[in-house]
């Protein structure tokens, strides 16, 4: 028995030494990363929901013109669900992360040009592409595979260049965006080691070396460290005019990322806001996000900024108030802020049904690009009479803002 206990004691010492070395190595790696907290607000936009009338808006309040783009349906171009989209050199790049798990390229009239990438484990192949970004100046596409913790680099004409492995396999990122020679990703640390600091945002170089981390989880995500609710569009939602925007699911602030660092850009204020105290009270008895979502509908608090899109003229984003998904519209010229419960179709009554959603996905200059969906029938697109996943590709829209 003593002999057995001695061996157990030796194993314990070895494991303790290994764990200690691992933590020290992680700490040393943290020391080499610049933890930036340059969060001084500049031109902060305050959206006070308690003083804004919740009303029904009109598409003509936002757009001068809307044009539908039916994407060409071909055997080599069958799209299930659009996860990400970007316009570059008068061509539309679309990521289907559910069915084809590829990027498709179309003209502005919807004609199919090419398909980029396939699933697999060979060179240039991925398992689950969750997001992509285009570095326009160097004609490169960076595709993020969140399962393999790897970034695939292609040219915009579709040729594979290289892969970039994640610098830290403990961190799971799902969204990526390029700006000024750097890549930015959300940083969901899946490690259960409480000695490893957790941050929401990180910057890596094009060589794959992590350079900076921002926004400690306890301070900026109301302490939530459980599984992330990815059914909400939540990170790196839009390119701004001179920056990019970042928000996570429990933040009440949208952050601006630029060469000057990270700063608060837009803050949501209301007496119904989800607080850290409310969240803690809910999570004491409800451990999963699905339980939290039910509680949010019952308590009707405000949370979950999502679907952020910006161009030179406007800023649009949505938020949850209980189970209602409302929309904020900010006119950048007049500084007027509107709070919409829904938007009426007063521009396109001869182009399809009266009730449909224009889901904005990407903005730049004076353009908003997005997806057109019939309300209460997400698999049907404007002008179709059957399941689009079987007979038609989705229909996009491109609009010019006022």
Q: What average pLDDT does the structure give for the chain? A: 79
In a domain, 88, yes or no: yes
Residue 164 host element (H or E): strand 160-165
- What average pLDDT does the segment 182-198 reach? 73
pLDDT at res. 14: 37
In a domain, 38, yes or no: no
What domain range includes position 329?
43-401
In a domain, 32, yes or no: no
Residue 13 burial (CB count, 10 A): 10
Decide if 79 contacts 94 (C-beta within 8 A). Answer: yes
Q: Report CA-CA distances (Å) from 259 to 180, 213, 279.
A: 8, 14, 33
pLDDT of 9 > 50? The answer is no
pLDDT at res. 192: 53
pLDDT at res. 254: 93
Lowest mean pLDDT among 77-86, 149-158, 383-392: 383-392
In a domain, 26, yes or no: no
Which residues partner with 82 through β-bridges?
Answer: 96
393 closest CA partner among 58, 55, 12, 76:
76
Q: Bigger pLDDT: 280 or 255?
A: 255
pLDDT at res. 358: 86
- What average pLDDT does the segment 130-134 reach? 93
Here the CATH number for the domain that contains residue 372 is 2.120.10.30
Decide if 66 contacts 399 (C-beta within 8 A). Answer: yes
pLDDT at res. 261: 81
Q: What is the dihedral angle through the alpha carbons of 245, 248, 251, 255, rounded to the nearest 10 degrees?
A: -20
Reported as a single tens digit per residue, the pLDDT across 287-329 is 566 677 777 778 889 988 988 999 999 999 999 998 899 999 9
| DSSP 3-state of 2 | helix
In a domain, 12, yes or no: no
Total domains, the chain: 1
Angle in degrees, CA 172, 177, 183, rounded to 5: 75
Q: Bigger pLDDT: 238 or 30?
A: 238
pLDDT of 202 > 70? The answer is yes
pLDDT at res. 384: 39
The pair of three-digit structure tokens given for residue 171, joined into one six-digit string: 């961190």
pLDDT of 25 > 60? The answer is no
Helix/strand/coil percentages in the chain, nearest 5: 15, 45, 40
In a domain, 55, yes or no: yes
Q: How far is it, in rounded angstroms, from Cα 63 to Cα 245?
A: 22
User: Read out DSSP for 95-143?
Assistant: EETTTT-EEEEEETT--EEEEE--BSSSTT-BS-EEEEEEEGGGTEEEE
The pair of three-digit structure tokens given for residue 257, joined into one six-digit string: 């990322």
Residue 263 burial (CB count, 10 A): 18
Which residues partner with 172 through β-bridges?
Answer: 188
Sheet holding 63-70, edge to edge: 63-70, 395-401, 367-374, 356-364
Angle in degrees, CA 276, 281, 284, rounded to 5: 120
Q: Which is it for strands 356-364 and 112-116: parallel, antiparallel or unpaired?
A: unpaired
In a domain, 14, yes or no: no
Q: Which is it for strands 210-216 and 34-35: parallel, antiparallel or unpaired?
A: parallel
Reported as a single tens digit per residue, the pLDDT across 51-107 is 999 999 999 989 998 998 999 999 999 998 898 999 999 999 999 988 899 999 999
pLDDT at res. 133: 94
pLDDT at res. 222: 82
Q: 289-299 vs 276-283: helix axis angle to the nearest 10?
A: 120
The pair of three-digit structure tokens given for residue 206, joined into one six-digit string: 């094009």
Lowest mean pLDDT among 7-21, 91-105, 115-129: 7-21
């Amino acid at each position: 028995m003593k002999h057995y206990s001695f061996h157990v004691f030796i194993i314990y010492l070895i494991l303790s030494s290994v764990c200690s070395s691992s933590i020290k190595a992680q700490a040393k790696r943290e020391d080499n990363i610049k933890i930036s907290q340059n969060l001084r607000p500049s031109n902060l936009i305050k959206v006070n929901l308690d003083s804004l009338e919740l009303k029904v808006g009109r598409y003509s309040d936002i757009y001068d013109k809307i044009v539908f783009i039916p994407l060409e349906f071909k055997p080599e171009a069958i799209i299930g669900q659009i996860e990400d989209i970007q316009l570059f050199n008068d061509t539309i790049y679309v990521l289907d992360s559910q069915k084809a798990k590829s990027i498709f390229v179309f003209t502005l009239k919807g004609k199919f040009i090419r398909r980029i990438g396939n699933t697999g484990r060979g060179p240039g192949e991925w398992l689950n592409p969750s997001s992509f970004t285009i570095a326009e100046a160097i004609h490169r596409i960076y595709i993020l595979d969140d399962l393999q913790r790897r970034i695939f680099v292609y040219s915009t004409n579709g040729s594979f260049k290289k892969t970039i492995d994640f610098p830290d396999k403990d961190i799971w990122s799902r969204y990526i965006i390029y700006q000024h020679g750097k890549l930015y990703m959300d940083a969901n640390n899946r490690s259960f080691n409480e000695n490893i600091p957790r941050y929401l945002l990180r910057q890596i170089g094009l060589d794959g070396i992590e350079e900076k981390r921002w926004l400690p989880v306890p301070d900026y995500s109301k302490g939530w460290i459980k599984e992330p609710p990815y059914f909400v569009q939540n990170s790196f939602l839009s390119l701004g005019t001179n920056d990019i925007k970042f928000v996570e699911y429990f933040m009440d602030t949208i952050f601006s990322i630029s060469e000057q660092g990270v700063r608060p850009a837009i803050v949501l204020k209301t007496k119904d806001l989800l607080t850290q105290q409310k969240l803690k009270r809910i999570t004491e008895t409800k451990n999963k996000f699905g339980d939290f979502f039910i509680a949010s509908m019952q308590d009707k608090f405000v949370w979950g900024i999502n679907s952020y899109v910006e161009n030179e003229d406007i800023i649009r984003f949505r938020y949850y108030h209980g189970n209602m998904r409302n929309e904020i519209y900010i006119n950048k010229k007049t500084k007027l802020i509107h709070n919409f419960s829904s938007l009426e179709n007063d521009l396109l009554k001869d182009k399809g049904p009266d009730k449909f959603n224009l889901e904005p996905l990407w903005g730049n200059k004076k353009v908003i690009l997005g997806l057109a969906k019939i309300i209460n029938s997400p698999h049907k697109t404007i002008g179709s009479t059957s399941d689009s996943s079987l007979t038609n590709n989705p229909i996009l829209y491109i609009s010019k803002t006022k």
